[in-house]
Structure 1
């Protein structure tokens, strides 16, 4: 059987009726408006969280000139976002990447994309939660619950990061379980605080500028490898940050009028994040006490050090509190997106323990078991940081490669469909028109190049301390391991599904049987 196609509509039916056209009943509650949808995508990117975490990484490889990598990555990701916006208008279903890839490339193709996305989201969630260690101890020493050095690279700092991260995951799991309305309100308030904080931070730093914008032409830190190499590697910082905008699509079944709302909010999340991040980077290199003394490339100092040294201890700590709020809503958004991905795949009965994971609590209207599972697995991943902080950092880097691969597994079959003239029409909704082929081709090329760049076994990125060859090759090893585990899980679940008679399955609640191939 094939997936129910999307037909053009002159007048939108109710959202629940629209969803039933794909073979799904309305189980989740539609409580999210336009701003809440935007907040879901923006908070996943969370420029305050990720730029604070990763600024020193980018700067250490190319000096102030690494700022130029930001608009390059933004342009590439905007191409991907444009393709996703088209698909969000045609397939407004939870589990966006999995659903889109399944309907464009077939069941096995879509399942692989979904599995890679789940793995990436789990690790990204743990990585976001651990970011509290970067901002809370500098605000107040009492947040260093494990006595000793607060640096993430130290034994005590790594342990304390796990404690703070687990506490945060407990909070976000509870919010997700209570209901999507609470999640959306908390997320929207947090995003508003983050947007205001980014604007005020940029104004404050620019007002304390020590040098002009020409500083971005300086290339110290290149070393003997050549500037092109340093530029490509430092660009990984922006690549790590500008992902997750598709999470607005993950909440399509909980968004009002998603065919029109979600495409706009996906693009807004990318553009606002891109503009805000660019201003933050420029303001930082212009206002830092020095761009030559190594402090900007030091993971223990970096951007938080610029805040406290340039803005004073009190104002600097106030901004760090805002960053902590951003970390919290970022963690919440990632967990929500991962939960909806697990729910969507479980509802199609293509994951182990699907029946339990697909259940929606009738009181809260949320997939509570999926949310708890995501939170527990992310907390378990955090434990890696206690014994080997370098391994956790490497793991967090590799997961971004999986995100780019999952994105590529959407844009590639979309291009094939487009060239064959088989992309479903959606009159009156978002579309690329005559620019579709050009944008789609560039998105595929961009995704392929970045996936290779992210996974390239550079010792400087994956094993900076040296002595652990397996870390240098961790990206291809992890990808192979994830696919192997996924293949085993898929085989087990396929055997169980085969044992279930077709006539005993309600195709509205479990339409996996309709995912036998692309449309």
Structure 2
């Protein structure tokens, strides 16, 4: 297919949903994949949460990772089918509004907004202690806060400059992340094989059963690492309006990002765990993985890998901020966000919703200043996307039999079985992230944000949406099904 044909198809898709193409389409397959892969950022998730896993369930807790990978791959497959039919910024907000109703769609958008705003500073928190240690700065909380705020400002400036620069940095970060993670796997793996490693660590529960209790509860807690990390693949769908041939490109990008992230991350966890020679010393370290790398590889080699890790984590925060701004733009474009007239504006010079980026920056700084703990932020950013996924997949399940066929990505006869397996998984995941006593505070924060969303909806948006003054007005699903079997 020639480029003009693809461009015309993308333009027709926008017109089909009664939107004007305001954002610049520059993302091809690799860049779309890079968006999803960098948002997931296995380096960020593993470096942030590996210490938590060691302290709660020991090195054996890494076996929750492949379980979460499979569960989230199922979600990515269903999201891929939706992204191939509704290639619009706003992802779940757009999808649920059309599959279910505008009210539930707005609520999905609210959850996505809360998740994206909170997750940016949690990512930059993973960056802060590494930067502090590399420069010999104090690793106290006040120092880390200022590093995070400074990082947020730089990321905002890069996003404001333009999506092309941000994605170029992001593309480079994919290479550094893959090279860094694969490099750690190969180099550290050779050291473990040659100098010896403790493979029994792979089944070591640490101190989790020191009191003689059941290990199951401790093991379940370790799922937080995978649940926090293996999310965000839908960012590729959120940037659909900046993607060339989005219906074909975005589904492939999302699925590939989860498969590659899950595979590399699990091998990395195995090698890192086997490299532990003194578990108590690792547990007492401020940053377990940098400690293990320095202990087994030396300061110089570990510094090279940590530099690559820094680039990957920075790019992760950069692309999440971009994704958050596009969601705000999508909501504001339909006048279902506060100050919509301000946040739907797109810079004519850079084709970027600048005001939306600035809002993400301000809210991110506030989250850093007023959050009780990093663990609380991380926990909330695991529960919120799982809840969003459940709402989206449930809405999809309700209308799954009415979905028209597609030439790009179609589940066919597998649609029904995969849908209900995915719903069962998400219910289970939300349970393990909220039921254990250790996560009750996290559950309270996530529930509080959702209740706030319901209140805001009824106070400020429901009447306008019901009267047809705001929101997505054209949801002609049944008509499209009859007249255009290639679209949603």
**TM-score scaled by length of structure 1:** 0.86
1:264 paired with 2:252, answer yes
1:79 aligned onto 2:74? yes
Q: Contact (CA 8 Å) 1:76, 1:446: kept in 2 or not?
A: yes
Match for residue 439 of structure 1? 418
Q: For 2:322 and 2:83, how far apart are their aligned partners in 1?
A: 18
Tell me the residue number matched to 2:386. 404
Pick from 486, 489, 510: which aligns with 2:453?
486
Query: Higher helix share goes to which structure?
Result: 2
Q: Per the alignment, do residues 345 and 518 of structure 1 end up closer, same or farther by CA in structure 2, a change over 3 Å counting?
A: farther
**Contact 2:180 2:308 (C-alpha < 8 Å) held by counterparts:** yes
Counterpart of 1:4 in structure 2 is none
Change in 2 beyond 3 A, CA 1:501/1:83: closer
SS in 2 for 1:208: helix
Question: Is the contact made by 1:107 and 1:516 (CA closer than 8 Å) also made in structure 2?
Answer: no
Equivalent residue runs for 1:225-264 within 5 Å = 225-264=213-252
Aligned equivalent of 1:191: 174
- Check conservation: 1:349, 1:512, Cα contact below 8 A: no
The within-5 A match list for 1:349-428 is 349-385=335-371, 388=372, 390=373, 392-418=374-400, 421-426=401-406, 428=407
Q: For structure 2, list consecutive stretches of 5 or more residues without a partner in the other structure.
A: 480-488
Alpha-carbon distance in structure 2 between the residues aligned to 1:498 and 1:193: 45
Q: Match for residue 153 of structure 1?
A: none
- Are residues 446 and 495 of structure 1, via their aligned partners in 2, closer, same or farther at CA, if it must alter by over 3 Å? closer
The match for 2:113 among 100, 118, 137 is: 118
Asked if structure 2 preserves the Cα contact closer than 8 Å seen for 1:251 and 1:337, the reply is yes
The residue correspondences of 1:94-493 to structure 2 (distance < 5 A) are: 94-141=89-136, 144=137, 148=138, 150=139, 157-209=140-192, 210-211=196-197, 213=199, 215-223=201-209, 224-290=212-278, 293-298=279-284, 300-385=286-371, 388=372, 390=373, 392-418=374-400, 421-426=401-406, 428-459=407-438, 462=439, 473-493=440-460
Check conservation: 1:240, 1:397, Cα contact below 8 A: yes
Matched position secondary structure for 2:58: helix
Equivalences for 1:504-519 in 2 at 5 Å? 512-514=472-474
Q: Residue 376 and residue 212 in structure 1: after superposition, are their counterparts in 2 closer, same or farther (change >3 A)?
A: same
Q: Does 1:32 align with 2:14?
A: no
C-alpha displacement of 1:515 = 5.5
Shift of residue 134 of structure 1? 2.6
Aligned mates of 1:11, 1:302 — CA distance in 2: 48
Q: What's the secondary structure of 1:513's corresponding residue?
A: coil
Deviation per CA, 1:226-253: give whole Å up to 9, x if none. 1211211112211111111111111100
Maintained 8 Å contact 1:85/1:266: yes
* TM-score, with length taken from structure 2: 0.91
Q: Deviations over 1:431-475 (max 9, x none)?
A: 11211111111111111111121122523xx5xxxxxxxxxx323
Which residue number corresponds to residue 50 of structure 2? 55
Deviations 1:187-219 (A, max 9, x none): 111111111111111111101113365542333
SS of 1:229's partner is helix
Deviation at 1:123, TM superposition (A): 0.9
Contact 2:198 2:277 in 1 (8 A): no
Residue of structure 2 in register with 1:3 after alignment: none
C-alpha contact (below 8 Å) 1:79/1:439 kept by paired residues: yes
Cα deviation for residue 225 of structure 1 reads 3.2
Q: What does the per-residue CA deviation read over 1:17-50, in whole Å, with 9 as the maximum and x for residues that have no partner?
A: 2111011110100011111100100111111111
Inter-partner Cα distance in structure 1 for 2:478 and 2:332: 19
Count of residues in Structure 1 that have an aligned counterpart in Structure 2: 470
Deviation at 1:325, TM superposition (A): 0.6
Partner secondary structure for residue 294 of structure 1: helix
Deviation of the 1:171 alpha carbon: 1.1
What is the deviation of 1:399? 2.5
For the Cα contact (< 8 Å) 1:457–1:474, is it kept in 2? Answer: no
1:67 and 2:50 are equivalent in the alignment: no
- Note if contact 1:352-1:489 (Cα within 8 Å) is conserved in structure 2: no
Distance 1:282 1:96 in 2: 34
> What is the aligned partner in structure 2 of residue 469 from structure 1?
none
Structure 2 SS opposite 1:43: helix
Shift of 1:352: 1.2
Structure 2: distance between partners of 1:85 and 1:59 = 34
